[in-house]
Amino acid sequence: MQNRTVVALGVAALSVVGGVFVFDVFFAAEASTQAVDTPLPEGAVVLSEGRFEGKAGHDVSGRVQLVELDGEHYLRFVDYDQEQGPDVFVYLTPAEDPDTGAEIAAGRRILVDGGADGGESTVEGTFLQRIPGDVDPADYRGVGVWCDRFRTPFGAATLR
C-alpha cells in the first residue's frame, strides 16, 4: 500500500453580479491519505462488526469491528477506503445507521491516529484505532463518517 495525496476544489454557487457570472469557491483542500495494513493482534476479541456504506453520494467501503484487547476497546477498520473531503471525521454513535446531524451529535468523535490535521479520517487500509477509556462500547451501535464542515454524511456502518 502507498500514500496518496488528494487535492479537492469545489464550487458552492454560481451567481450573477453586475451582469458577470461569479463562481464562489467553498474550499480548496489537500489531504494526504496514509494506507496501512495492521493484522488483528493475538488475544483480541471481536465484539461486533459492520460493513460501511456510502451516504449522500459519497464512497465509503470496508468493514469496521469493535474489538477488545487487554481490557481496552478499539475500532478495527478492515480494507477501509473513503472518498476524501475536508473535515471528515469518524463518530461512534448510539444510532445503528447514523446519517443525520442529531445522530452524529449524540455520538462521540474518534480521532484517527495518523489522520490529517490531528485526527481526520484520512487513513485507509486495515488498522486499529483505540477508543477513549471513558467510552462504554455497549452504548454505541453505529459508526459514522461525517463531514463537519458541510454537515453531511459520507458513510456509516451498523455494529452487530
Q: How far apart are CA 18 and CA 103, in angstroms?
A: 43
The grid coordinates of residue 35 equal 494506507
For the segment(s) 36-158, the CATH number from 3.40.50, 2.60.40, 3.40.1440, 1.10.1060 is 2.60.40
43: CB partners within 8 A, 6+ apart: 69, 70
- The full length of the chain comes to 160
Q: Mean pLDDT in each 10-residue stretch from start to end of the chain (160 residues)?
A: 44 44 41 76 96 98 98 98 96 97 98 95 96 96 97 98
Q: What is the value of pTM for the model shown?
A: 0.80
